[in-house]
Structure 1
Amino acid sequence: MHKDFFCMPLHLDQLAAFVNVADLGSFTAAADKEGLTQPAVSLQVKGLEQRLGVRLIERVGRRAQPTAAGLDLLVHARRLLQESAAAEEAMMPYRDGASGRVRIGSGGTASIHLLPRAIAVARKSMPGLEITVRIGDANDILRDLEANRLDIAVVALPASGRNFEIEPFYEEELLAVAPAGSLMPEGGPDAAFMRDRTLLLYEGGNTRRAIDAWLAAPDTRIRPAMEFGSIEAIKELVAVGLGWSILPGLALKRDRAGLVTTSSLNPRLTRRLGMVLRRDKHLTRGLREMMKCLRAFKG
């Protein structure tokens, strides 16, 4: 091997292609993500393998997976790509009056009732800040955060991950919700009372686990009448008299025309929302501003 071989620079396009194939398990999926042809992605990975003199990707069944060498390279490749993105983002304020980009991942309630106000404050401070929001299941959001496809996640806690920094920033009460005019027990409904109602509950996630734990009785498994992936849908169904629910307070602050009745539970039930970032995340000015606005949120 020529002595100057390792003096040749690594190509970021080749590293990006390699990381995408490793993450997605497919050359075709990586090509779709990058807007390239499958042969082009294969050529980039092959060029990287030739450059380093090791095999980086192997096929296991129908899935493409990193070799032992590939797994070691992934750590460095992600860091190099992140530093490259950070360098590019640092230049954005000097180009066309832009002020950077923040990619946020969040669940439905926070994205509808919390993020718009925080984003509005951040944009007032940095008018050129580009902010995108992805709404999804918390597990999917955290996977994208780990893969650096998002800059920050706003999720109901707890959240776990060795590479994450987690900062709680807002405590939210979960409330009993009933059709307008329903009578609530003095002091708020307790678990036994709620278990006797026709329950319409949100499906999955930390919020549902907290509700199930609050409702739990010895030797009793909670079986709601219906489960939904949309809190807004549950509100509408409660409003037309199909049942009761337990929902985040943020989702109930703008109940139009008094269609539902709400009450604190007995005992009171809350959940915490947190900001989650990668430990090695470069905190751009825009990301710092967004975090400051989230910390200042008062509901």
Structure 2
Amino acid sequence: MRGLNLDHLHTFVDVAELGSFSAAAERQNLTQPAVSLQVRQLEQRLGVRLLERTGRRSTPTAAGLVLLEHVRRIDAAVAGALDALAEHASGVAGRVRLGTGATACTYLLPPLLRSLKARFPSLEIVVTTGNTAEMLRLLEENRLDVAFATLPIPARGFAVTPVMDDEFMAIFPPDQDPVPETVTPQALAARPVVLYEPGANTRRIVDDWAARGGLTLRPIMQLGSVEAIKEIVAAGLGCGVLPGMALRGDRTAPGLVARSLEPPLIRKLAIVVRPDKPLTRGLRAVVDGLQSLAGPGS
């Protein structure tokens, strides 16, 4: 290890994973010449060529692939050492990068994050919101430590732990008459409906549910905010479909009427991590907290 620079190793990993010196430079907030110099110095130190250009991408050589595996073990060993030392310190410290959907971030996670902050004041939790595809990409690029995402998760080598079910509900304005006790795709298709904007998992799930009933919902409005959908429905401009977590307790706008869907529509939320991710004390605390959302006996 004498003379081997860990920063140079991580720069090499970034180039190999992103396939680009410029992308690695952007990730590390460095100039491209600085990234090229670090990789060149690492190759000189090891006496082998680690990267080769194929078209417009930079890919690892056979020696580079071997080094990638060793760097992951080195990172795990360093994280383990820091974790072991943390046992001798007071409490849990460090930084955990959590990715989740906007709805879970707004309606589900705040009590958990508040509890974690109270228990571990030195633990920094950075939350990023996005759709499942974005979160998986950030996990692959090691820009997130853990994601709380909607199943299914593509089989791309992630460790996935299902945690909880979230039932979708139809919502109606307070003066809608009559409001069906259960809501079928046919019942929704016959009314003006307000849905989440296309591209989000929430919208895809609802569209798939309607398609299984042989229908395509044609919304009069497509919005990017759950609260905006609630307000539009409360104003009497249509009905809507939202995740149940956004309608629990006092989260339903005044007067809105919520009904179950028929057939029931339930999404499953899961913890997603890279299997090679070192489980530091801070990350373990966040993962345990997410698992507690399942509730007792789940």
What TM-score results when the alignment is normalised by the length of structure 1?
0.85
Note if 1:291 corresponds to 2:287. Answer: yes
1:101 lines up with 2:89 in the alignment? no
Given that 1:177 and 1:260 are in contact with CA atoms closer than 8 Å, whether structure 2 keeps it comes out as yes
Matched residue type, 1:233: A
Q: By how many angstroms is 1:86 displaced? A: 4.6
Match of 1:45 in 2: 39
Measured after TM superposition, the shift of residue 115 of structure 1 is 1.3
Check conservation: 2:91, 2:120, Cα contact below 8 A.
no
* Rounded Cα–Cα distance in structure 1 between residues aligned with 2:175 and 2:80: 54
Unaligned runs of 5+ residues in structure 1 are 1-6
Distance 1:198 1:152, change over 3 A: same
C-alpha distance in 2, partners of 1:258/1:280?
47
8 Å contact 1:90–1:284 — kept in the other structure?
A: no
Residue number among 232, 247, 260 corresponding to 2:227 in the alignment? 232
* 2-structure distance, mates of 1:184, 1:67: 67
Query: What is the Cα-based RMSD across aligned positions, in Å?
Result: 2.8
For these two proteins, the number of residue pairs brought into alignment is 293
**Whole-angstrom distance in 2 between the partners of 1:298 and 1:120:** 17
CA distance, structure 1, for counterparts of residue 289 and residue 91 of structure 2: 22
Question: Does 132-141 or 256-265 show the bigger shift?
Answer: 256-265
1:13 is paired with a residue of what secondary structure?
A: helix
Aligned equivalents of 2:237, 2:82: Cα separation in 1: 53
The 2-side partners of 1:197 and 1:75 are apart by 56
Q: Deviations over 1:195-224 (max 9, x none)?
A: 222222222344433322321257644443
In the other structure, the counterpart of 1:248 is 243
Q: Given residue 158 of structure 2, which amino acid in structure 1 is its aligned partner?
A: F
Alignment of structure 1 residues 136-175 onto 2, 5 Å: 136-175=130-169
Distance 1:153 1:287 in 2: 11
Cα gap change, 1:244 to 1:103, in 2 (>3 Å):
same
Q: Partner of 1:208: helix, strand, or coil?
A: helix
Cα deviation digits, residues 203-251 of structure 1 (max 9, x gap): 2344433322321257644443343333333233323333322110111
With over 3 angstroms needed to count, the CA separation of the structure-2 counterparts of 1:219 and 1:170, relative to structure 1, is: closer
Matches within 5 A, 1:260-271: 260-271=256-267
Matched to 2:245, the amino acid is L
Alignment of 1:173-252 (within 5 A): 173-183=167-177, 185-202=179-196, 203-216=198-211, 220-252=215-247
CA offsets 1:167-201 (integer angstroms, 9 cap, x no match): 11111110002223223544311111012222222
Counterpart residue identity of residue 273, structure 2: L
Which of 261, 271, 274 is equivalent to 2:270? 274
Distance 1:91 1:184 in 2: 64
Paired residues of 1:173 and 1:248 also in contact (CA < 8 A): yes
Please tell me the residue identity of whatever aligns with 1:147. E
User: Superposition pairs for residues 58-137 of structure 1, below 5 Å?
Assistant: 58-88=52-82, 90-91=84-85, 99-137=93-131
Provide Cα deviations, 1:124-175, integer angstroms capped at 9, x if missing partner. Answer: 3323222111111211111222233222110111113343221111111100
How far apart, CA to CA, are the structure 2 residues paired with 1:93 and 1:186? 57
Per-residue Cα deviation, 1:58-117 (whole angstroms, up to 9, x for no partner): 334443333343344323323323443453455457669762332211010111111111
Q: Secondary structure at the match of 2:264?
A: strand
91 and 228 in structure 1: CA distance in 2 versus 1, 3 angstrom threshold: farther
Structure 2: which 5+ runs fail to align?
none
1:130 match: secondary structure:
strand
The C-alpha deviation readout for 1:244-286, integer Å capped at 9, x for no partner, is: 2211011123446515321111232211111112223322222
Work out the CA distance in 1 between the residues paired with 2:16 and 2:112: 35
2:164 counterpart letter in structure 1: Y
Q: Secondary structure at the match of 2:96?
A: strand
Percent identity of equivalent pairs: 47
Worse-superposed segment, 208-217 or 170-179: 208-217
Amino acid at match of 1:213: D
